[in-house]
């Protein structure tokens, strides 16, 4: 990573987990970058990976998603989601790589924007723009979950959170 990226925390699951959480995130950086190498347990169909901020479970999340493979493309939009911003998907066959940029996370006067890029086992590339529309506050906690409550995050999943230093 460039010298402006500073590792804040890394976690690797050693057993199936319902979620991964980064808590007590300091406001010492301008932006955050989250890098996931994630896999689901017990499913061959793709399951959404959701990012929830500061424990907010209200309908304050929206997103636009574009995806494409060599032969297909699609887009969709969701408003007023309560389970977080969809940042990519995964299944039990392969790990998915997901990279999220969280802009201006410590600002207390603006809503938060998340830009995510991901690849999955079905060879789709996804680009996602998400917005957290809660009353502006600094992000101090990031929680990651697989959408279906019947599925967990597989052992061996790695998540690293980086802070970007001010220029």
Domain boundaries defined on the chain:
5-164
End-to-end CA distance of the chain: 15
Q: Which pLDDT score is estimated for 151?
A: 72
pLDDT attached to residue 94? 83
Q: What is the 3-state secondary structure (H, E, C) of the chain?
A: CCCCEEEEEEEECCCCECEEEECCCCCCCCEEEEEEEECECCCCCCEEEEEEECCCCCCCEEEEEEEECCCCEEEEEEEEECCCEEEEEECCCCCEEEEEEEECCCCCCCCEEEEEEEECCCCCEEEEEEEECCCCCCCCCEEEEECCCCCCECCCCEEEEEEECCC
Please tell me the predicted confidence (pLDDT) of residue 2: 56
Q: Name residues whose C-beta falls within 8 Å of residue 51's C-beta, 6 or more positions apart in sequence.
A: 34, 84, 85, 87, 100, 114, 116, 130, 142, 143, 144
pLDDT at 150: 66
pLDDT tens, position by position, for the chain (167 residues)?
A: 557 899 999 999 999 999 999 999 999 999 999 999 999 887 777 888 999 999 999 999 999 999 888 788 889 999 999 999 999 988 888 889 999 999 999 999 999 999 999 987 666 789 999 999 999 999 999 999 988 766 789 999 999 999 998 75
Give me the pLDDT at residue 91, please: 83
User: At the top level of CATH, which class does the domain 5-164 belong to?
Assistant: mainly beta
């Amino acid at each position: 990573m460039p010298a402006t990226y500073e590792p804040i925390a890394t976690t690797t699951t050693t057993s199936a987990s319902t979620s991964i959480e980064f808590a007590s995130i300091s406001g010492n950086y301008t932006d955050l970058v989250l890098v996931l190498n994630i896999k689901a347990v017990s499913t061959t169909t793709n399951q959404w990976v959701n990012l929830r901020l500061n424990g907010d479970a209200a309908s304050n999340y929206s997103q636009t998603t574009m995806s494409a493979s060599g032969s297909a493309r699609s887009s969709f939009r969701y408003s007023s989601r309560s389970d977080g911003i969809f940042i990519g998907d995964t299944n039990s066959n392969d790990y998915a790589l997901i990279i999220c940029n969280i802009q201006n996370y410590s600002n207390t006067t603006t809503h938060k924007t998340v830009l995510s890029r991901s690849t999955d086992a079905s060879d789709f590339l996804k680009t996602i723009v998400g917005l957290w529309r809660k009353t502006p506050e600094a992000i101090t906690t990031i929680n990651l979950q697989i959408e279906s409550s019947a599925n967990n995050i597989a052992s061996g999943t790695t998540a690293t959170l980086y802070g970007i230093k001010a220029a």
